[in-house]
Amino acid sequence: MGGEEGPARQKAMELLVRYGEALGAEKLVDTNNVCGGISNDPFTRKYAAEAEDFDAVFSEFNLDSSVRVAIPRVKAFTSHLITGMDPEHWQIQGVEPAAYEYNQRREAFCSRIGIQCINTCTPYLVGNVPVKGEHCAWMESSAVVYCNSVLGARTNTEGTESVGASMLVGKTPYWGYHLDENRLGTHLVHVDTDVSSVMDWGLLGYYVGEVVQEQIPVLDGICGIPNISRLKHCGAAAASSGGVEMYHIVGVTPEANSLDEAFGGRTPEYRLDYGRAERKKAYDMLTTATDPEVDFVVLGCPHYSIEQLWEVCRLLEGKRVHSNTSLWIFTPKPLKDHADRQGYTKIITDAGGVLMTDTCPAIGRVHPKGAKVVATDSAKQAHYLPPIMGFETWFGSQADCIQAAISGKWKGELK
């Protein structure tokens, strides 16, 4: 592509060629599915406050160009990932007015260039569901591992600049998880304990990620078929403790109809067992709290599905959140709209909780003032909240967390 499509697309193409060459990619491949966006971090906000307009911000941070170029509409279908705040609840979240105003400008710009402002780490829950074999360019580790493993679509873990370029030209470097040979299993994980609840799946993913790091585990021996909630929690956990971008479950995920298919006929490089002792190790790694007084309960990482909202409302209906505890639940905005219609938002609000969208505590760094001890059903949130926010963390089931929200005390599993 020369300059005939304008300077922004030319810069995007130059960036992708440079990036592809550095990676050793043999070519660029077409994509019509990009997930990324414009950052909300303080550095970008400061730049935006002094910049001429958002074209300049996009040029600098999404195209690696200190020269401002006019940004045209995106060529590839593009979904925005989470942002730094919920535009309805930013004040409860402790967000400064200047950051809120930046967010409004950012969103107006994204809409203008055709980015879908679904603002979630679970685009696959709200209409962005690539098909098996489809080449994508996604950021966000929990979304990437879901895309590769559960949907059988193909993406590497992209960055702000590469997705910025990909959305403008509809191409991404052809390397890594786009190639058949890089999608085969490396580690055989024999599961010989019951893995049924969402919590079980989070623990399994967390343990396996810690062991395999950036390689590809193949889970075998699991009874039953896990649903979306379980798979998204498993992948998010494995991508947190390790850098897992793809996993297989024999008989469940699309590229693992058999053990042989998952390994491409090769012998596994490593074998490991996952039993009760390994589950306990994962639990102990995730639970850092000792204080039973819980002042913050976080649900919805990765963002909750409508099924999880339905489940949480069954536990919460007619109950009251403890006066010393905040309950925040996160879901994509289109599902919040459905929850409003279905009466779920009212159930949560009547109980004293808040249903939020567009962000999460670990990434948005939003939290109730003074919170110190958090309970969560998310291994990913439990992994990141202590180092990022300094919280002590209890990890447990959704029911344990709701119990903690109501009583103000942790009564779930203990170390």
Q: Smallest distance from the beta carbon of 232 to ligand F3S, in angstroms?
A: 8
Among 147, 128, 145, 170, smallest CA distance to 238 is for 145
Q: Smallest distance from the beta carbon of 171 to ligand F3S, in angstroms?
A: 26
Query: b/e map of 275-287 (b: 16 or more CB within 10 Å)?
Result: eeebbeebbebbb
End-to-end, the C-alpha distance of the chain in Å comes to: 58
Residue 198 · residue 395 · CB < 8 Å: no
- Percent helix, strand, coil in the chain (nearest 5)? 45, 15, 40
- Give the separation between CA 332 and CA 117, rounded to whole angstroms: 10
Give the one residue of 218, 256, 301, 313 binding ligand F3S; rule: CB under 6 A.
301
Q: Per-residue x/- marks for ligand F3S, 43-82, CB under 6 A?
A: ---------------------------------------x
Query: 4: which residues sit within 8 A by CB, 6+ positions away?
Result: none
Tokens 């905040």 sit on residue = 326
Q: Per-residue x/- marks for ligand F3S, 89-128, CB under 6 A?
A: --------------------------------x-------
Q: Which is nearer to ligand F3S, 294 or 362 (CB)?
A: 362
Among 27, 8, 156, 127, smallest CA distance to 74 is for 8
User: How does DSSP classify residue 143?
Assistant: H
198 sits near ligand F3S (criterion: CB under 6 A):
no
The region of 248-256, 276-284, 295-303, 343-351 touching ligand F3S under the rule CB under 6 A is 295-303
Site for ligand F3S in 122-161 (CB under 6 A): 142
Residue 136 · residue 130 · CB < 8 Å: yes
Residue 259 · residue 364 · CB < 8 Å: no
Give the one residue of 37, 176, 302, 353 binding ligand F3S; rule: CB under 6 A.
302
Q: Which is nearer to ligand F3S, 60 or 358 (CB)?
A: 358
CA R_g for the chain:
21
38 sits near ligand F3S (criterion: CB under 6 A):
no
Q: Which is nearer to ligand F3S, 188 or 385 (CB)?
A: 385
- Give the separation between CA 193 and CA 2, rounded to whole angstroms: 57
Q: Smallest distance from the beta carbon of 38 to ligand F3S, in angstroms?
A: 15
Q: Smallest distance from the beta carbon of 366 to ligand F3S, in angstroms?
A: 11
- Give the separation between CA 249 and CA 348, rounded to whole angstroms: 35
Q: Which is nearer to ligand F3S, 71 or 151 (CB)?
A: 151
303 sits near ligand F3S (criterion: CB under 6 A):
yes
Torsion of CA 327, 357, 376, 232, to 10 degrees: 150
Q: Smallest distance from the beta carbon of 119 to ligand F3S, in angstroms?
A: 10
Query: 126: which residues sit within 8 A by CB, 6+ positions away?
Result: 118, 120, 332, 334, 335
Q: What number of chain residues touch ligand F3S (CB under 6 A)? A: 13
Q: Smallest distance from the beta carbon of 329 to ligand F3S, in angstroms?
A: 11
Give the burial class of 47: count Cβ atoms within 10 A of its Cβ; 0-12 exposed, 13-18 middle, 19 or more buried: middle
The region of 123-131, 204-212, 270-278, 297-305 touching ligand F3S under the rule CB under 6 A is 297-305
Q: Smallest distance from the beta carbon of 303 to ligand F3S, in angstroms?
A: 6
Site for ligand F3S in 353-372 (CB under 6 A): 360, 362-363
Q: Smallest distance from the beta carbon of 383 to ligand F3S, in angstroms?
A: 9
Query: b/e map of 321-342 (b: 16 or more CB within 10 Å)?
Result: bbeebbbbbbbbbbbbebbeee
Q: Smallest distance from the beta carbon of 385 to ligand F3S, in angstroms?
A: 9
Give the one residue of 236, 262, 356, 389 binding ligand F3S; rule: CB under 6 A.
236
Which tokens is 147 given? 């895309």
The region of 36-44, 106-114, 267-275, 298-306 touching ligand F3S under the rule CB under 6 A is 298-306
3-state secondary structure (DSSP) of residue 255: coil
Q: Smallest distance from the beta carbon of 261 to ligand F3S, in angstroms?
A: 28
Which residues are at the interface with ligand F3S (CB under 6 A)?
Answer: 82, 121, 142, 236, 301-303, 330, 360, 362-363, 380-381
